Amino acid sequence: MARFSYGGQALIEGVLMRGRDAIAVALRHPDGRIVWSDERLGTGFRGTRWAKLPLVRGLVVLYETLVIGTRWLVRSAGVAAAAELPPAAAADGRPADTADLGKLSLALMLILTLVVGLGLFFFAPLLIARFVAGGQPGIVERAVEGLVQVAIFLGYLSLIGRTSDVRRTFQYHGAEHMTIHALEAGDPLTVDEVRKYPTAHPRCGTEFLVVVILVSIVTFSIVGRQALPAMILSRVVLIPVIAAVSYELLRFGARHRANPLVRVFFEPGIWVQKITTKQPTDEMLEVAIVSIEQALLADGEELPAGSAPIGRSPLVLAGAPPAEAAEG
């Protein structure tokens, strides 16, 4: 069994797995193949001892997740649309599976995502609470703000989950969790073995967001009522602190889930995963298995005994050499 706690995220028709030193991605190509790629985790700060300190490590992981996750989400969309686009050429002249995303485009996309996220989940609840309960005691206003945050969060997830494309992504999300469960149990990475595990997982990003909302309710209750500009500024300044604390709480909860009190506190995160994870097909489980196998190999880990080979091909990006791997 791997000595590192692997995590990941669902992509468009695929799964990204984050390992100790590298990430690996597996995608279902429109022609039916499973294509894969990996890359080293290269944040300059992550190799220092400071990056491993409590609170700091959470921000490093969050940064890498945002940047790498967004880049691969766009790439996965490109692979999914490959059948509808004219073929591009890679650096070696081979047909490319997808084009890459420029750094400027990625930066603009991340900035837009953060602005929309802050506006929807932090600024909008603040303004609504100020309008609805502005004349009430501060604790009432903060309670209304928290309720609005939860309502917007659950409403947003439920709404987007109604679309067929997002539902398939939620199925890949479930496949990611089931595969990690199997790895952590030391089971062979096969469809039959992975299938027996639940789609929810205690280290899920959805659960992280639930913890962020809970921590933010407590934090902003302590901040109390201030002038509106000061309250808006507090949301911006304290978001990194809230994220860092939430990451440590999530780690703690994952290690002590057997404790009844801990389990009760984190149970809302499991409930919300009923929205964001769905039962995957066998083909989706194959993609998740390839992703975690490539992450293990990139970290120099051995695959669990009994794991069955699944066919795969290197992902070819336009303008970049293909990954070095043989067909499985």
Could you state, in order of their start, the residue ranges of all structural domains in the chain? 7-314
Confidence at 279, pLDDT banded by 50, 70, 90 = very high
Strand partners, 271: none
Average pLDDT over residues 303-315: 92
Distance CA 265, CA 14 (A): 31
Contact between residue 202 and residue 253 where contact means Cβ atoms under 8 Å apart? yes
CA dihedral 133, 137, 143, 149 (to 10 degrees): 40
Contact between residue 27 and residue 315 where contact means Cβ atoms under 8 Å apart? yes
Contact between residue 256 and residue 218 where contact means Cβ atoms under 8 Å apart? no
Strand partners, 18: 7, 23
Residue 87 pLDDT more than 60? no
User: What mean pLDDT, rounded, does the chain reach?
Assistant: 85
SS3 of residue 17 by DSSP: strand
The one-letter amino acid code at 121 reads: F
Higher pLDDT among residues 25 and 43, named by residue: 25
Average pLDDT over residues 36-61: 77
Instruction: Describe the crossing of helices 103-118 and 56-80 by its angle, rounded to 10 degrees.
Output: 110
Average pLDDT over residues 203-217: 88
Give me 324's structure tokens: 């070095």
Q: Which of 96-110, 146-160, 212-226, 308-322 has the lowest mean pLDDT?
A: 96-110
Residue 103 pLDDT more than 50? yes
Bridge-based pairing of strands 95-96 and 34-40 is unpaired
Q: How many CB atoms lie within 10 A of CB 243?
A: 20
Residue 289 pLDDT more than 60? yes
Confidence at 43, pLDDT banded by 50, 70, 90 = low
Distance CA 272, CA 166 (A): 15
Q: pTM (2 decimals)?
A: 0.84
Bridge-based pairing of strands 34-40 and 313-314 is parallel
Phi-psi region of 11 (alpha: psi -120 to 50; beta: other; left: phi over 0): beta
Average pLDDT over residues 300-313: 92
Confidence at 328, pLDDT banded by 50, 70, 90 = very low
Distance CA 37, CA 46 (A): 21
Confidence at 327, pLDDT banded by 50, 70, 90 = very low
Confidence at 93, pLDDT banded by 50, 70, 90 = very low
Confidence at 84, pLDDT banded by 50, 70, 90 = low
Residue 19 pLDDT more than 50? yes
Confidence at 291, pLDDT banded by 50, 70, 90 = very high
The residue written with tokens 């299938």 in the block is: 195
**Averaging pLDDT over each range in 20-24, 133-137, 285-289, which range is the top one?**
285-289
